[in-house]
């Protein structure tokens, strides 16, 4: 069945968390290879290696050079790719491991969050032609100045999808530690249901609202190149979730999934002069530092003075605070408040486009659970609320129940 099909497989950290698991992955790769598939296998770093490396760096310097951080973080994936190639050799499979730079993944210069500009895939193509299984260290590439750059947390998903696009693969399989995409994180909601398929748009919204199971940018690329994508478990042979352009139009559920993220923090700038150009100045400074802003709320102005709050990824907090403090000085605003004890809970579903009363139902469910809403943002197919961090999981459970998922 797989004969001559080109398949890109990606194995996440827990799927290759120890030697036993790496051997299991080698066994799965073997079963595809035996059936004649051509394989490119992208790996993440083993277990929580990346977190550990970040902690090491922070022990040396709380605000390490991003270039050096990338030098350090990229080693995690290099270790697992070499080990998997060795495990494949042991099974008699001709395999070769490469780093991102070695397989021509060219990125922009934004260390720790680099974007892929192009892939010069000749080296992979010739290794495949020689009959080899190609193992690629995920999460990394090389800038046009020949520096190593990483692709943002969860970036091995992006490596896999981008390679699948560049190589025109027949299928891209994302192997992880759950059996697919669920209506909510199955570790939080025990009754969450596995979805047999989901559209790119819904997956994009779930990912960008915090469903860690797929990196947002990977879903964007998969959508753009219409890559056949499946998310499934490396611990079982169960069918996973297919991510596709259009879901079959059966009954549209209003809400498809609930997400939670505790990775964001809230920054509030107090006493911003309420006059044209202030928001532009603030967000110009933040964007020049490549800081991604998520939600933004501006309060009602009193005596031509207002407060502006926004959320950012915690990992970008030192950079964001430095930029914010600089701009506060320039525009003559008041103080800067930083709050890490927040969580963002979201409901996502294409069916929301055609239904009214969804926001009301969400807010009512949160109110019943005695959860205060601090910020709200909406898109065509999602609504997000920022709440206290300690109430985040409770909020997910309450919403999962309220929307009968």
List contacts with ligand ADP (CB under 6 A).
Answer: 12-15, 44, 154, 176-178, 181-182, 184-187, 206, 211-213, 257
Instruction: Kindly state whether residue 400 participates in binding ligand ASP, applying the rule CB under 6 A.
Output: no
- Judged by beta carbon, residue 138 or residue 141, the one nearer ligand ASP is 138
Inter-CA distances, 272 with 310, 324, 332, 335, 384, Å = 13, 12, 7, 9, 25
What angle separates helix 216-224 from helix 156-166, to the nearest 10 degrees?
A: 10
Contacted entry of ligand ASP, ligand ADP, Mg ion, none for residue 45, CB cut-off 5 to 8 Å set by kind? ligand ASP
47 or 141: CB nearest ligand ADP: 47
Could you say which of Mg ion, ligand ASP, ligand ADP, none residue 57 binds, taking C-beta under 5 to 8 angstroms by partner kind?
A: none
Query: Buried b vs exposed e over 276-303: b needs ≥16 C-beta within 10 Å?
Result: eebeeebbebbeeeebebbbebeeeeee
Please state, as a whole number, how many other Cβ atoms lie within 10 Å of the Cβ of residue 355. Answer: 12
Q: Would you count residue 138 as binding ligand ASP (CB under 6 A)?
A: yes
Please report how close the Cβ of residue 338 comes to ligand ADP at its closest, in angstroms. Answer: 26
Sheet holding 257-261, edge to edge: 257-261, 342-348, 382-388, 375-379
Q: Which is nearer to ligand ASP, 100 or 155 (CB)?
A: 155
- Cα–Cα distance between 202 and 247 in angstroms, integer? 10
Q: Choose from Mg ion, ligand ADP, ligand ASP, none: what does 153 bind? Cβ within 5-8 Å by kind.
A: ligand ASP
Give, in order, the Cα–Cα distances in Å from 213 to each of 104, 185, 241.
Answer: 26, 9, 11
Binding site partner of 202, from Mg ion, ligand ASP, ligand ADP, none, Cβ cut-off 5-8 A by kind: none
- Least distance to Mg ion from the beta carbon of 317, Å? 21
Please tell me what DSSP assigns to residue 203.
Answer: H
Residue nearest to ligand ADP (CB): 12
Q: Judged by CB, which is closer to ligand ASP: 175, or 182?
A: 175
Q: With CA atoms as reference, report the closest residue to 258 among 291, 211, 305, 298.
A: 211
SS3 71: helix
Q: Does residue 154 touch ligand ASP according to CB under 6 A? A: yes
Q: Which of 9, 44, 81, 113 binds ligand ASP (CB under 6 A)?
A: 44
Distance from C-alpha of 99 to C-alpha of 95, rounded to nearest angstrom: 14
Q: Which is nearer to ligand ADP, 14 or 143 (CB)?
A: 14
Query: Any bridge partners for residue 348, and if so which?
Result: 257, 382
Given candidates 76, 154, 210, 392, which one binds Mg ion under the rule CB under 5 A? 154
Does 175 contact ligand ASP by CB under 6 A? no
Q: Which residues ranging from 10 to 49 are in contact with Mg ion (CB under 5 A)?
A: 12
| Chain positions contacting ligand ASP, by CB under 6 A | 12-13, 44-45, 50, 76, 138-139, 153-157
């Amino acid at each position: 069945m797989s004969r001559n099909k080109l398949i890109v497989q990606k194995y996440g950290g827990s799927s290759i968390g120890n030697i036993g698991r790496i051997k299991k992955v080698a066994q799965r790769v073997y079963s595809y290879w035996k059936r004649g598939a051509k394989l490119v296998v992208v790996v993440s770093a083993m277990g929580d290696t990346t977190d550990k490396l970040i902690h090491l760096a922070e022990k040396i310097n709380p605000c390490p050079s991003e270039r050096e951080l990338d030098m350090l973080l990229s080693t995690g994936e290099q270790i697992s790719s070499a080990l998997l190639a060795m495990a494949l050799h042991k099974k008699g499979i001709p395999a070769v491991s490469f780093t991102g730079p070695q397989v021509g993944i060219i990125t922009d210069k934004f260390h720790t969050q680099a974007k892929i500009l192009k892939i010069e895939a000749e080296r992979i193509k010739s290794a495949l032609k020689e009959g080899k299984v190609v193992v690629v260290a995920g999460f990394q590439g090389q800038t046009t100045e020949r520096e190593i750059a990483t692709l943002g947390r969860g970036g091995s998903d992006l490596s896999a999808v981008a390679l699948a696009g560049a190589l025109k693969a027949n299928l891209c399989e994302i192997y992880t530690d759950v059996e697919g995409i669920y209506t909510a994180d199955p570790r939080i909601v025990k009754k969450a249901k596995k979805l047999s398929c989901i559209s790119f748009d819904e997956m994009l919204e779930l990912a960008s609202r915090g469903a860690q199971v797929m990196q947002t940018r990977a879903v964007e690329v998969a959508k753009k190149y219409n890559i056949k994508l499946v998310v499934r478990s490396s611990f079982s042979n169960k069918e996973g979730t297919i991510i596709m352009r259009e879901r079959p139009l059966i009954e549209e559920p209003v809400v498809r999934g609930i997400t939670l993220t505790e990775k964001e923090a809230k920054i509030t700038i107090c006493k911003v002069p309420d006059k044209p150009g202030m928001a532009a100045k603030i967000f110009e400074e933040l964007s020049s530092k490549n800081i991604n802003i998520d939600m933004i709320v501006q309060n009602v102005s009193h005596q031509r003075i207002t407060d502006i709050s926004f959320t950012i990824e915690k990992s970008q907090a030192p950079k964001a605070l430095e930029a914010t403090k600089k701009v506060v000085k320039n525009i003559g605003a008041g103080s800067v408040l930083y709050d890490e004890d927040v969580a963002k809970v979201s409901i996502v579903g294409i069916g929301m486009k055609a239904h009214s009363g969804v926001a009301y139902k969400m807010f009512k469910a949160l109110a019943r659970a005695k959860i205060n809403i601090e910020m709200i943002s909406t898109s065509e197919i999602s609504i997000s609320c920022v709440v206290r961090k300690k109430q985040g999981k409770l909020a997910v459970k309450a919403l999962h129940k309220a929307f009968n998922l």
